[in-house]
Amino acid sequence: MMTGITVMSGELGDIFWDLAPWITYEAGYDLGCSIYIANPSSTEKEFSLIARLTQGSVVISEEALPVFGNSWFKVVPGDFIKLKGALRFDDSDCNLAILLIERETEEIADSVVTVLISPESAGALPPSWPGTSIGTSTDWSMIMAMMLPVMMIGMIGVVANSGKKKETVPEKEPFKLLPPGREE
């Protein structure tokens, strides 16, 4: 018997979106995104979305996001819905979390997080990974550790190609000019 691969792993529900782990965001502007809500269970579920902004462990704001004009929305068993829209906040240099709340248990079923960085704070390099302090620093040892496998594969390819015999291509004959035709 063959078992299928399960992408959705949460018991109560799953949430995904198309935002990067950190983005440059100017407070007061729209932040467009697509959010996917999945119901991996065998029964219909009702969900709500909460947008939460935090700096460290301090909650800056928390508000319900209406879906189809309502606080709660349903997702049929084994299916998902795609929500397209824009979010707007009065703050930046903080963490944005979208919480998926399951109605029956009133638990957080899943969440997605991104770091909102103001253009002034962004600088040239990305901040550290979400969940750590916001700042720009370059860890060259980490960069080199990521580059090493790529460089090794490239070197193996060069060595493997150097042992091969090169095929010689026979020289082509030069073009022959046809004699001038009969003139009449």
Write the DSSP assignment of 130-168 as a string of letters: TTS---B---HHHHHHHHHHHHHHHHHHHHHHHTSPPPP
Indicate the SS3 state at residue 99: strand
What's the distance, CA 118 to chain centroid?
20
Instruction: Report the C-alpha gap between 145 and 37 in whole angstroms.
Output: 36
Q: What's the pLDDT tens digit per position in 1-27?
A: 333 333 445 678 999 999 999 899 999
Calculate ∠ Cα 50-53-56, nearest 5°. Answer: 135
CATH 2.60.40.10 fits 14-123, yes or no: yes
Q: When comparing pLDDT for 81 and 137, which is higher? A: 81
Nearest Cα residue to 98 out of 85, 106, 108, 107: 108
- Within 10 Å of residue 66's Cβ, how many Cβ atoms? 13
**Which pLDDT value is given to residue 5?**
34
Percent of the chain predicted with pLDDT > 70 = 61
Query: Which residue's structure tokens are 């460290």?
Result: 56
Model pLDDT, residue 155: 66
User: For 114-143, what is each residue's pLDDT tens digit?
Assistant: 999 988 887 655 555 555 554 445 555 656
Q: What is the pLDDT of residue 46?
A: 94
